[in-house]
A and B are shown apart, each in its own frame.
Chain A
Amino acid sequence: MNLTIDDRFEDMLKEAANIGSGRAVNSLSLLLGEPVSMKPVQLKVVSFQELMSEYGDKEEVMAASLLPFYGDLEGIVYLLFSQDDINALAGSLIGRSVTMKELETDPYMHSMLMELGNILSGAYISALADFTSLNMQTAAPSAAVDMAVSLWNEGLTYTQETQNEVLFLESEWKSASLPGGTASGRFLFLPDAASFQVLLRSLEEKIND
């Protein structure tokens, strides 16, 4: 299968992702009680080779939350947080900083991470389903704390079986005025290869309407 996407589809895909991440960022802002800003969505095609040369030596421990979705479209929404992000988020949510070890081993902290993923990714998927009129449901969220390189590899290899590259939509958000500092993070929207075709067809119908 060919992963090249022409310009008008690229714009439509980004717009769809903007709507998804817009609603997710809105829920985050409500949760934190502080404004959250968002960078324009980027459509990325990354080869496994690039992935390895960019993250191969990153042993920094990060946290990730993964929310699978299914229905007309299947894939995952993936969230990544650094230690600084987690400290700032936890500062607002529970009033203190949290180490990566705690996130990993303390069941309450672990479920905070999953819940964060559930709320944000759930908002993303429901906005996208509204926009595309496609049937999309989310499955149970899951979370992991591990080396950055492992999290990137595992997240990006979840879908798209017959390529050595992966296509995804990335949204970056930032909240600068939290008591615990600045938090930022990434949402990755990763449909499987077949779902990309479904999404493109549904967007095409929208263009032709």
Chain B
Amino acid sequence: MTSISAGLYIRVGMSDWKASTDKEQLRTSGLGSCIGVVIYQRSGALAVMAHILLPACPENQLENTQLRAKFADTSIEDIVHFFHKQNIPSRKLAAKMAGGAQMFAVSSGRENKSIGFRNAEAVKEALQLYSVPLLAEDTGGDKGRTITFDPGSANLYIRKAYGEENAI
């Protein structure tokens, strides 16, 4: 289980996505209601991890390139285009995701569903829209997650408080 390498990995910040081209591991920390999603080449080295905060980009922000990685719809769109531009079609891709927890039992007033739940749904919808199969997910609950993707094995390692760990 502990094939998470100690030192070398690419760190993905909040509201950002990054590509690993040479099987370097990708990591993002402290996902609460946020979603960490990996889209990767099923037989190949290229993998992308995104740290998404919210379901949908407001219409007046669609052109704001600084902000597109923050939202499920625009982030997934950009990542899929990134693969397509390198002649890797959707049918050669797969995805895994984790996060979408509800750490605080706060109702936002406007919505019945938690933001974490809506984030997970929005990622699924966007993946479906671009025909990228979601092979595994570990979403929901009330705990934060730090995730590491190993492109070599296509395993997504999930770490929670007190060092609790699993892989999908």
Residues of A within 8 A of B29 (CB): 52, 55-57, 149-150, 153
The prevalent SS among residues of A at the interface is: mixed
B106 to A142, Cβ gap below 8 A?
A: yes
Main DSSP-derived SS at the B contact region: loop
Assess the A147–B109 pair: CB atoms within 8 A. no
For the side of the interface on A, what is the size category? Answer: 20 to 34
Chain B's closest residue to A157 (CB) is: B53
Which 9 residue pairs of A and B lie closest in terms of their CB atoms, listed nearest first? A150-B144, A149-B30, A154-B32, A48-B14, A142-B104, A150-B30, A153-B30, A52-B13, A56-B29
B104 contacts across to A, CB distance below 8 A: 66, 142-144, 154
Min CB distance, B77 to chain A, in Å?
18
Per-position 1/0 for A150-173, Cβ under 8 A of B: 111110010001111000000000
Chain A residues within an 8 Å CB radius of B145: 150
Interchain CB contact under 8 A, A154 and B15: no
A62: min CB distance to chain B, Å: 9
B32 touching A70 by the CB < 8 A rule? no
Residues of A within 8 A of B31 (CB): 150, 153
Name B's A-contacting residues (CB within 8 A). Answer: 11, 13-16, 29-34, 53-54, 58, 61, 64, 66-67, 70, 103-106, 109, 142-146, 159-163
A145 touches B (CB below 8 Å): yes
24 contacts between A and B (CB under 8 A): A48-B13, A49-B14, A52-B29, A52-B30, A53-B13, A55-B30, A59-B159, A144-B103, A144-B142, A147-B146, A148-B30, A150-B31, A150-B144, A150-B161, A151-B32, A153-B14, A153-B29, A153-B30, A153-B34, A154-B33, A157-B33, A161-B58, A162-B64, A164-B14
Query: Which residues on the B side are within 8 Å of A161 (C-beta)?
Result: 54, 58
Q: In whole angstroms, how far apart are the Cα atoms of A70 and B108 in the complex?
A: 11
Residues 34-79 (chain A) with a chain B CB within 8 angstroms: 48-49, 51-53, 55-57, 59, 61, 66, 68, 70
B108 to chain A, nearest CB (A): 8
Q: Determine whether the beta carbon of A59 is less than 8 Å from that of B161.
A: yes
Contacts of B53 in A (CB 8 A): 157
A56 B11 Cβ-Cβ under 8 A: yes
The answer to whether A30 has its CB under 8 Å from any CB of chain B is no
A40 CA to B155 CA in the complex, in Å? 47
- Which B residues touch A149, using CB under 8 A? 29-30, 144, 146
